[in-house]
């Protein structure tokens, strides 16, 4: 097993970093790259940039932001939101992204997963899933930043997505997102049991201990953190130290 990755997630609307609750009620935080650089210097293992209105407008607007970030930030960057074609993926990879995350367009056209994986490799194709709980052990796939329901079952969809070529899963719990109530552990566990590719748990990290729970109980390979970092409730160095003290294997960072 690889070291658990500590990922900073930046949700972006226009030119601003924003933060919502349940992916709604978006509040402007500031300039994304000021936060990104801060997290890089704190020792973030990766960054995820999500254009959260891209699906609504049908395109990803992050190119300028990513290109600027690539001057100073030397950890992997994943870019998502509004990736509708291999050409869209090519564009964001060309400006410095290492992986693309696809949600809405993959649901509409699952072959896009295969097309991106065949062109750039599975390691580059992150399937982003926005999940809402339906019953105790059942979750539904949402698209368009948690706005549209699809009728798809998360577990069926993740299996299909991996068989189509997805190399990693970004799993966001819409129910937990922005609530600081901890990750949706049963959801992450169900998904990590269903497929063999790495799972990034996203949504709900309220305190450092939540990280331990989602890794130890649900086998998350990585956590995406937003609220806890943006509001400066914890810095990545402290999260890393606590994880190390609790016996979780993370990247050693000096």
Partner 1 sequence: MNKPKVTVIDYGVGNLLSVKRGLEKCGAKVILTSDPKIILDSSRVVLPGVGAFSNAITTLKSLGLVEVLYELAKRKTPLLGICLGMQLLLEESQEFGLSEGLGLIPGLVIAVPNQTISGEKQKIPHIGWSPIENSHNKGWENTLLKDNKVGDSAYFIHSFMAVPSNPDNLIAECNYGGIRIAAVIGKDQITGCQFHPEKSGEVGLKILRNFCAD
The binding site for partner 1 (CB under 8 A) comprises 1-3, 5, 40, 43, 45, 67, 70-72, 74-76, 90, 93-98, 119-124, 167-168, 196-198, 221-222, 251-253
Which residue number, 23 or 47, has a Cβ lying nearer to partner 1? 47
Q: What are phi and psi of 163, to 5 degrees?
A: -65, -25
Residue 73 CB, shortest distance to partner 1, in Å, is 9
Least Å from the CB of residue 148 to partner 1: 30
CB of 65 to partner 1, least distance (A): 14
Q: Are strands 16-21 and 5-13 parallel, antiparallel or unpaired?
A: antiparallel
- Is 11 annotated as catalytic? yes
Nearest to partner 1 of 147, 251 (CB atom) = 251
CB of 4 to partner 1, least distance (A): 8
Which residue, 70 or 248, is less far from partner 1 as judged by CB? 70
The two beta strands, 24-30 and 16-21, are antiparallel
Which of 185, 195, 127 is closest to 155 using CA atoms? Answer: 195
- Report, in Å, the least distance between residue 1 CB and partner 1: 6
Q: Which residue number, 93 or 225, has a Cβ lying nearer to partner 1?
A: 93
Q: Would you say 25 or 237 has its CB closer to partner 1?
A: 237
Q: In the annotation, is 88 catalytic?
A: no
In the complex, the smallest distance separating the C-beta of residue 249 from partner 1, rounded to whole angstroms, is 10
The one catalytic residue in 45, 91, 130, 221 is 130
Nearest residue (CB) to partner 1, 77 versus 229: 77
Residues 6+ apart with CB under 8 A from 152: 107, 140, 141
Contact call for residues 70 and 49 (beta carbons, < 8 A): no
Give the DSSP letter string of 51-116.
ETTHHHHTS---HHHHHHHTTT--S-EEEESS--SHHHHHHHHHTT-SEEEESHHHHH-THHHHHH
Counted residue by residue, the chain has a size of: 254
Contacts of 9 (CB under 8 A, 6+ apart): 47, 48, 50, 202, 224, 225, 226
Question: What tokens were used for 117?
Answer: 């994986």
| Cα–Cα dist 5/77, whole Å | 13
| Residues annotated catalytic, as ranges | 11, 130
């Amino acid at each position: 097993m690889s070291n658990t990755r500590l990922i900073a997630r930046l949700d972006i609307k226009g030119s601003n970093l924003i933060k919502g609750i349940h992916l709604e009620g978006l509040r402007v935080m500031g300039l994304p790259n000021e936060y990104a650089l801060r997290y890089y210097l704190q020792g973030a293992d990766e960054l995820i940039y999500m254009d959260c209105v891209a699906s609504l407008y049908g395109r990803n607007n992050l190119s300028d932001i990513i290109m600027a970030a690539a001057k100073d930030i030397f950890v992997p960057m994943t870019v998502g939101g509004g990736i509708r074609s291999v050409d869209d993926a090519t564009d964001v990879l060309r400006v410095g992204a290492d992986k693309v995350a696809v949600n809405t367009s993959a649901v509409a056209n699952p072959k896009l997963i295969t097309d991106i994986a065949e062109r750039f490799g599975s390691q580059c194709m992150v399937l982003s899933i926005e999940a809402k709980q339906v019953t105790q052990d059942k979750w539904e796939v949402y698209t368009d930043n948690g706005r549209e329901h699809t009728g798809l079952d998360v577990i069926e969809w993740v299996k299909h997505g991996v068989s189509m070529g997805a190399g990693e899963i970004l799993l966001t719990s819409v129910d937990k997102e922005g609530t600081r109530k901890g990750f949706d552990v049963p959801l992450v566990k169900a998904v990590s049991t269903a497929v063999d590719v790495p799972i990034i748990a996203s949504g709900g990290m309220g305190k450092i201990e939540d990280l331990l729970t989602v890794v130890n109980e649900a086998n998350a390979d990585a956590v995406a953190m937003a609220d806890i970092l943006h509001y400066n409730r914890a810095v990545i160095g402290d999260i890393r130290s606590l994880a190390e003290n609790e016996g979780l294997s993370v990247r050693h960072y000096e």
